[in-house]
Amino acid sequence: MTKLPAVLVIACTSLAAQAADIVGNAAAAPAKIEMCIGCHAIPGYKATFPEVFQVPKIGGQNAKYIETALKAYQKGDRKHPSMKGIATSLSDQDIADIAAYYSKQK
C-alpha cells in the first residue's frame, strides 16, 4: 500500500513537467488559427465583426494573456458561447502556438 503514494507522486511530477515544457511555436499556428481570423481579423486585413460586436484585437497582445484567456474560456471562467466551443477544442500546445503567433502580430 505504501507504493501507491510513491507511484502517484511520480505520475503527477511527470505530468507537471510535461505541462511546463510547452513552448509556443508561432510557425505552427497558421494551421490552427482558421477559427480565429473570422472575428479577430485576417493578418493584413480588417474584420467587420470588431466594429459591430466589439471583438478584441488580439494581434500584438501579450502571449501569456492570450493563453490565460483561452484557458479561462475552457474552464467556463470567461463566458462566451463561441469562444467556449473554440477554446475547448484546443490542446495546451495549440493554445501556446496561437498565443505565440498573435503576440508577434501588430
* Model pLDDT, residue 40: 84
The answer to whether residues 105 and 60 touch, using CB atoms and an 8 Å cutoff, is yes
In a domain, 99, yes or no: yes
According to the model, what pLDDT value does residue 68 have?
98
Q: How many domains does the chain have?
A: 1
Q: What is the pLDDT of residue 26?
A: 95
SS3 39: helix
Let me know if residue 80 belongs to a domain: yes
Q: The pTM is what?
A: 0.73
CATH of the domain at 50: 1.10.760.10
**Is residue 19 within a helix (H) or strand (E), and if so which, with residue range?**
helix 3-20
What does the pLDDT read at residue 57? Answer: 82
Is 16 within the bounds of a domain? Answer: no
Burial of 42 (C-beta count, 10 Å sphere; 0-12/13-18/19+): exposed
In-domain check, residue 14:
no
Walk along the chain (106 residues) in steps of 10 and give the mean pLDDT of each run. 57 55 94 89 60 77 97 96 95 98 91
The predicted pLDDT at position 56 comes to: 82
Handedness of CA 90, 18, 24, 75 (dihedral sign): positive
Domain of 97, in residue numbers:
22-103
